[in-house]
Structure 1
C-alpha cells in the first residue's frame, strides 16, 4: 500500500500470467530488503505492522490505512514528535501563523526530523473539519481555524491595526505577503512554491534501492504509430506556484484489447513523461499506466469511446517542453507527443483567469481527493477536458474557469463579479448566458453548460466576459470549438 512506485505499477499492469505477477511481487520485496543476508525481510514486516497500526488508530468512516494519517504513517513511519488537539477549542496561534487567539477544529501536528526525498524539518497538520474522526492533510494553517470565515479569532496584526482581515485572507490564499495594503508582515518570508512542491513530494511513493524497472520498460519501446492527443491547462494555486494538468487522450478504437476475465477484454496504455526547461534541464518525470475494460461483445460493433489519462504537474512561471511517450501495451504501437507549456508570471493585483476549459463532464470530487489526483482542479471539482474541442451534436459542452485577484466586497467578504458566456458564429454573437459563479477556497469558480442538440455541425467560439463590480476591472477570454455530426454505430 502506497509504497509501489509509478514505474513498478506500470510494469505490474503489463504482466499477463500469475507466475509473472508472483515473480514481480517477490522481487518487489527483495528490492526493499535492507539486509538480504537474513531470512527475514525487515522492511516487509515493518510495512505490515504500520498497516495494522493505522487500521487500529486512524479508522473513521473508512479503514485506517485509507486515511491521510494512515497513508503518511505507512509511508514514513511514526513522526519524530506529535502534538494532538483531539477536541479543538481555544488555540493560541504561533507567531508564524499570525498570533492571537482563535478556536480550532480537532487537529494533529506531526513533525519529522527528516524524510528522504522531501527534506528535513517536515511539519504536517491533519485537521478534522467535519468532526467525523477523519483527519485530512492541510496545506494551509488556516484550515484548522473554525472562525476563519466568520471574521472572528483575529490575528495579532489585525488587533493592532497592522493588517486587515481582507489582507490576511488574501495572503493566506496566495500563501505569502503580496505587499498590498492590509497584508500581514508575518507572511513576508513565506515560500509557496516550496510548500506546494513539498506537498507533492510527500504524496509520492518513497524511492527504492534499485532503479532498473524504468530502463527495462524503455528498452522495449518500438515505433509503430499510435494516434493520440495531448493538452495542458494552467491553474494558479499560490503567488508563484501553478498547477498544470497534462491530459492524454487515446481513441479506444486505436487500442488492442485482450481477454481479461470472462466476457471482459482489456487494453492497457503505458506512459512516460518528462518536463524540461528550454535549456533542457529536467524538472519533472513520471511513468504510469491506465487500463480500459469493455464487454467483449462491444468489439464486434466497433468501440467509439476514448481512454483519458491526466498527470498534475506543479510548476513555477516559465517556459517548458513536455514530452510524453504513449504505448499500447498489447500491440507495441507507440507515439511521442510534445507540447509547450507557458506559465506566465502571475499578476498580483490584476483580475485574471485560469485556462478556459471546454470539458466533456464536470463532477464533484470524492472525500480525500485533492489536487494531487487526476482531473481535480484547485476548487475541488473534477473536470474532464475535451482536448480536440470537438463535440458530438447530441452532447453537452461544459465550460470551466477560475478567476483570481477579484476585489472583495468588504460587507459580503467575497467578490462581486458580473459574468457572461457568449456563443459566436462567424464572429457574431448568437447566444448569451449568465454562468454560475461559486466562491471556493479563495478563488472564484465559473461554470456553464451548453446543450448542443439543436446546433448545426460547424465551427463556433465561446467567449467569457468578466467585470469586477468592486474594482471595475474587466477581461475577456475566448476559445474555439466544433460541433460534429453524431457518430452512430452500424451493425
Structure 2
C-alpha cells in the first residue's frame, strides 16, 4: 500500500513542481518588466518612485504610476498621492508629506555610515521611514559578550493595526557591518552573543545564556511584542509583525480606488481634476412611468461637497456629464447639466454636516445599457463618478422590479413637476447603502409587471424580513387591494428589530399561494443613535414640459436606427412645443432621413421666412436639394452660413447644387472653400481636380 501511495503522489508532485516553476518564471518576467519600466522613467520620477516613497506606496499605486504616459500625468498623480495621505486638507501644508521628507532626510543623515548604501536603504532607515521616531531606544553596544544591538520601543500604534506596544531590534551580525533587522525566528538569541558555546540549534539554551548576560535584551530576543505569553520558542507573531504588519502600515488606510480611477478616467476627465477624485455612493432604479415610458432614477452621493465663501454667501457650480452606451460601446445618449449653487450662512449651517445627494431621472428606450456619470465641482476641481449597468425591458413580462428601500417619505412637493424618486405622490429618500436606524420606517417601493386580470383579482403579495436566515416579520396583501398598480409603496416599521443585517423578500403568490415571482434586497439596522442623511439637489421638470422626455426618447430611437419608433415621439414633442428650435430641428432630421423632403419644407419654411429662425435654414436647404430645387437650396444654405459661420458640409452641398445646375465655376468655388477648411477630403479633392481638368 505504501508503494502504491507513493507512486500516486509522484505525478502530483511533478505537476506541482511544473506549476511552481511556471509561476516563478511568470513572476520573474513581471519583475523584469517592472524593472524596465522604472528604468525608463525620467530621473526625477524614478527617484520619487524608487527612493522617496518606496516604503509607503501601495502595489496598486505603483502599478498605476508605471502606466502613465506623460510627465504631466505623473506630476498630477504625485499630487493625488500626497493628497490621499493629507490628514487635514484645510491646512496650507500637508503635514504627512512634511513629516515623510523629514524622516527621509534624517535616515540619510544618520544611518548607512557602515554601509555603501544610503540611509534609506538600510533596515533602520526603512523602519524609521515606516514608523517614525521610536518612543524610547535602548543600546547594548559596549558589552564584550554581546554583538552591538539596539532596541527601538514603540507604543500607541493599535490604530494602525499594530500591537499596542512592541520592540524592533537591530544588531550587527557577527559584530561587524551595518545594523540588520533582528528576527527571533530567523536568528534567535544566539545571534545576539559573541561567544555562545551552547547548542546552536537550541533557542532555550541560547535564551538562558543571554539571560545571564543581559536579562533586558533576553526579554525581547524571543518575542518583540510586549506582554505576549511566551515559552522558550521564538514568537511567530513577532515574525509576522516585522515581515508583514510593519511594512503594510503605510498602505493600511489608503483606499486605492483613487489610483485605479486616475488611470481609468485620465482620458475622460481633465487633468486638473484627475488628482481630486472623491469616493461616492450611488444608486440606480429602472421605473415605468405612468406615461408608459421607462425612466432611470439615479443618485450619487460624493464623500464631500466644497464651497467657496464670498462675503456672507457660499458658492459652487456642479457639472454633471456622461453618457448611456450599449454593450458594444455605442452611444445612445449624452448627459450634460450645469447647476450653480448659492447658500446663505444659515443654509450652510444647516447642511455643512450632512451628506450631499444629486438626483436625476432620464427616459430610456428598451435595451441593455451602461450609465456613466461624472459629477464635477467646478469651483474646487473635485470629481466623482458613477457606473451602473441596467436593463430596460422591451415588453412587460410577469416580474417584480428591483426593490427600492428608502429611509424617509414625504408628500411630493407639487403635482405639476416631475422629479426623481417621486412615486405615487410620495417623494422617497433612498440611501445607496441601505442603512437604517432601529427607529426608522423602511419605505419600500417596487413595481409589479405583466399582471393578468385574473392574478390581480386572486393573487397575493407577501413581504418578509429575515435575520440570519430566520423570518422575523411577514406581511400579506391581496393584489386587488393595491390601488395604484403597477406601483407598490409599503411602510415597514423597524421598531423592535435589533441591529443586524437583514434580507427583505417580496413574493408574488397565485390564488393557491404558490410562489410565482420573488425579489430580494439586503439592508442593515445600525446600533448607532443616528446616521448622516443627505440634503438633495435635483432639477425638476414641469409636467407641461413632458415633451422634453418625448424628444429625448425619439433621439435615442434615431441613434439606435429605429426611425419608425422615433417618428411619433419626435412629432409629438414638436407639436406640443412648436416654439422649440431643438424639437423642430430633430423632427426635421428624422424626416430628412426618411426622405420626406416636402414635409421638411412645409415645416421649416415658415420658421425661416416668418420667424427668422435660421437654424431651420439648414434642413430647409437639404429639403430643397432633395426636391431638386437647387436654386432655393443654395439660398437657404447661404442663409445658414451667414448666420452661423463657415461650414464644410454646407459648402460641399452648395457645390453639389451648383454642379447639378451645370454651373461648374460656382461649384468649383464652393468646393475649394470647403478644402480650405479641411484639405483632407479625398472625394471633394477628386471632384475639384475633375472640374479643373474639364475646364482646361
Indicate the structure whose relative CO is greater, using CA pairs within 8 Å and at least 6 residues apart: 1
Higher share in helix: 2
TM-score, scaled to structure 1: 0.46
The structure with the largest alpha-carbon Rg is 2
Length-normalised TM-score, structure 2: 0.33
The structure richer in strand per residue is 1
